[in-house]
Structure formats: C-alpha cells, structure tokens
C-alpha cells in the first residue's frame, strides 16, 4: 500500500462484498468509512474494523441522494483529512421480465447503482484532484456485459457503470486518479442467497471453475487495483467470475 494515502470510502459496506472489501483494506492498514443505508449494521461493521488498529467511521448514506453523498465526502474529509480511495460497491437488484418490470423497479435500480456511482465519484474526485492522487474502483457485474434475462434494469445500470468507469478514467487521468471496474460473476452473499436452488445450480453449471465466488475473491482484486502495483492501470474492467464470462 501507499505510505502517504490511507483513507478509503467503501459504499454499501455494512455487509456482503462491501464488508469483505472493507475488512481486506483495514487489514492492510487503511482507515475505512463504512457508508451504508443501514446505519446500525454499518456501525457494527465499523466496530469490527477497529480491531485492526485503524480508524473506522460509519456514515449513513443513500448513494442515490446528492445531499447524502455531499455529506459523506464532507464528514470523511473533516474526520480523516482526505478521500484517497473510493470503492463504489452499493447496489441492489429488482429482477423481473421486461414486460412485467414496473417503472419504479427500473428507476430505483438505475438511481442506486448508476446515479449513486456517478455522484460518489464526482464528489470524491473533487477532493482527490486537490491531492493529485486518487483510486476509484467500481463494482459492476458480468450482467452489464452479458445482458442477463430478467435483469434489464440491473444489467443496464452495470453497463452504465462500465461506461462511467471509462469516462472518469479519461477525465481524471491527468490528476493521477485511476478508475477501474470489477465485473463479479456469481458471488455468494445475501443478495444472491435469495435465489432458488434451481437458479443457483443453473449458474454453477456454467462456471468453468465449478464453484461460486466468495466476497473475498472480489476484495483481493480491489486490493490489487488500489495498490502501487496497479498504478499504470486505468479504465479497465476485470472479470472475476470463475469463467462464467469468457
């Protein structure tokens, strides 16, 4: 990790992949802002992270609300001094076939997954530009590349996240801010636990590595992308799916 840069925001990190990312980065010595819509769970995660001897703050944030995101960045700068790393992980699904998908199901997924990534990146980048350093990692999905049936809202939001990754990478590269995305495949978390055994087996049969992914599989790649080893990588999408997407 970098000697000078120590402060990371991980959105949606009260549980699941975000929590695994927060744990991994805390173990590496980074201070963590646990930003989540679920405040009690976020506070609990922050307490667990402090066991690694770092500073951890829980901030209640709905990433789709501009005032929440401005607040998130303001408190982070006030309490920790800077925003060096941003992991845009908060995301939801509201699956339905397009003919049955309501406008509300469409809007909420686009608002949280895509607009949320835009807002957090925009306000964090403002701070990163001042320091001429920043690392942003967006958690997209293989759905955004494959276009999965029953997930028009989700797949479109994640395709948008991949496009945003490239736009931000081009706009902020000159300020030493790298922006990359990870496209996870099927990862076992509370988001995917609700799926039927039949759907889970369907995914498994298509994964060449013959196992579902773990949140830690994603956290490892985030750890790499924000490390000095990846300082010449920007605008990429890393597919972490056990071969589900080849």
What residues act catalytically?
154
Please state, as a whole number, how many other Cβ atoms lie within 10 Å of the Cβ of residue 213: 21
Please state, as a whole number, how many other Cβ atoms lie within 10 Å of the Cβ of residue 130: 13
- Beta carbon nearer to ligand NAP, 176 or 192: 192
> Among 44, 131, 192, 214, which residue interacts with ligand NAP (rule: CB under 6 A)?
192
Residue 17 lies near ligand NAP (rule: CB under 6 A): yes
Please state, as a whole number, how many other Cβ atoms lie within 10 Å of the Cβ of residue 220: 15
> Among 151, 153, 178, 189, which residue interacts with ligand NAP (rule: CB under 6 A)?
189
DSSP assignment of 37-75, as one string? S-HHHHHHHHHHHHTTTS-EEEEE--TT-HHHHHHHHHH
Question: Could you tell me the smallest distance in angstroms from the CB atom of residue 25 to ligand NAP?
Answer: 15
Alpha carbons 228 and 1: distance in angstroms, whole number: 6
Alpha carbons 153 and 43: distance in angstroms, whole number: 30
Residues 90-109 as x/- pattern, contact with ligand NAP by CB under 6 A: xxx-----------------
- Token reading at 135: 């690392």
- Token reading at 20: 């695994």
> Among 9, 14, 83, 136, which residue interacts with ligand NAP (rule: CB under 6 A)?
14
> Among 5, 6, 9, 15, which residue interacts with ligand NAP (rule: CB under 6 A)?
15
> Among 31, 64, 121, 223, which residue interacts with ligand NAP (rule: CB under 6 A)?
64
Alpha carbons 37 and 26: distance in angstroms, whole number: 21
Question: Could you tell me the smallest distance in angstroms from the CB atom of residue 90 to ligand NAP?
Answer: 4
Residue 138 lies near ligand NAP (rule: CB under 6 A): no
Using CA atoms of 3, 214, 209, 243 in order, give the dihedral in degrees to the nearest 10.
-70
Q: Which residues bind ligand NAP (CB under 6 A)?
A: 11-12, 14-18, 36-38, 61-64, 89-92, 112, 116, 139, 141, 184, 186-187, 189-192
């Amino acid at each position: 990790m970098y000697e000078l840069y120590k402060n990371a925001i991980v959105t949606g990190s009260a549980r699941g992949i975000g929590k695994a990312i927060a744990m991994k980065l805390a173990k590496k010595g980074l201070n963590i802002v646990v930003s989540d819509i679920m405040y009690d769970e976020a506070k609990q995660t922050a307490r667990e992270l402090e066991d690694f001897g770092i500073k951890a703050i829980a901030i209640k944030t709905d990433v789709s609300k501009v005032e929440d995101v401005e607040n998130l960045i303001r408190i982070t700068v006030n309490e920790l001094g800077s925003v060096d790393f941003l992991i845009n992980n908060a995301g939801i699904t509201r699956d339905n076939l397009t003919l049955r998908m309501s406008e509300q199901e469409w809007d909420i997924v686009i608002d949280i997954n895509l607009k949320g990534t835009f807002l957090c990146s925009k306000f964090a980048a403002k701070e990163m530009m001042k320091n001429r350093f920043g690392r942003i990692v967006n958690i997209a999905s293989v759905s955004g590349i494959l276009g999965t049936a029953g997930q028009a809202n989700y797949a479109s939001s994640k395709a948008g996240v991949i496009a945003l990754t490239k736009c931000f990478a081009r706009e902020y590269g000159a300020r030493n801010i790298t922006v990359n995305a990870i496209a996870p495949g099927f990862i076992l978390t509370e988001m995917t636990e609700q799926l039927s055994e039949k759907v889970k087996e369907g995914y498994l049969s298509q994964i060449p590595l013959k196992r579902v992914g773990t949140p830690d599989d994603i956290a490892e790649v985030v750890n790499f992308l924000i490390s000095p080893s990846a300082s010449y990588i920007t605008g990429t999408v890393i597919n972490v799916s056990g071969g589900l997407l080849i």
